Structure 1
Amino acid sequence: MKENKNEGTPEEIVAKINSETSKVAWTELLPFFAKGMAIYVSHKLDLIKVAYALSEDDKQQLEVWMSEGLVANVTDEQASAWNESNVIVWAAVIKPWLLVQPIVD
């Protein structure tokens, strides 16, 4: 059995991540992007589930999502388009990373 890297049960960790997730304007997150720490999460995935996998260092699951293009570093093109469109994203911090998921209407 894999040792839990975080304190608390999986449910408690998910609840903590969920409570720290918020809607924010992409423009406020540009410093994370500039440092290469902004990670895109497709709207096809649950942001909290991805944040939990990252917090648990679940490399196998993250690699699957990355190979499918569902999780990736935010590209220059994405950042520019989001900046110009004043996009609002769901954001979750799993130090040192910032996970962002554009809100789809």
Structure 2
Amino acid sequence: MTQDLRKELTDMVGPTHWNWLKPHIARDAVVFVDPHLDLVDVGVALTNDNVQSVQRWIGEQLITKPTREQLDAWGISGPTNQLQSLIVQPYVLVQEILASADSGSPI
């Protein structure tokens, strides 16, 4: 069951834009996921009610409500920002996409 859920959630991860996030921010449903966490892992933990993992991530501030500064930055950068999202009802998980160190460089 977990592998099916993982695949389903992986297929649901995609880029997102500020305008799409606005209504979810207004209803306080956006959760920021630190870029060093796997977005699908967080989605699986929330879906499976894995309280231990979620509480640890909250305690370590790896999953948080977006700060005013983050919201302002996302709004300013508009469609050029690098955000991905995953809907895990009732939340919208949002994560900044980190540029990989080797992106664009030939091997």
Normalised TM-score (structure 1): 0.87
Structure 1 residue ranges (4+ consecutive) displaced by more than 3 angstroms after TM superposition: none
Deviation at 1:27, TM superposition (A): 2.9
Deviations 1:46-73 (A, max 9, x none): 0000011011111111111111111011
Q: Give 5+ residue unaligned stretches, structure 1.
A: 1-8
Deviation at 1:10, TM superposition (A): 0.2
- Matching of residue 101 in structure 1 with residue 95 in structure 2: yes
- Give the letter aligned to residue 53 of structure 1: A
Structure (1 or 2) with the larger CA radius of gyration: 2
Q: What corresponds to 1:4 in structure 2?
A: none
Normalised TM-score (structure 2): 0.85
SS at match of 1:65: helix
Residue of structure 1 aligned with 2:17, choices 25, 29, 46: 25
Q: Give the alignment of 1:13-92 within 5 angstroms.
A: 13-86=5-78, 87-92=81-86
Distance (whole Å) between structure 2 residues aligned to residue 77 and residue 31 of structure 1: 18
SS at match of 1:85: helix
Q: Give 5+ residue unaligned stretches, structure 2.
A: 100-107
Bigger shift: 53-62 or 18-27?
Answer: 18-27
Matched positions, count? 97
- Give the letter aligned to residue 60 of structure 2: E
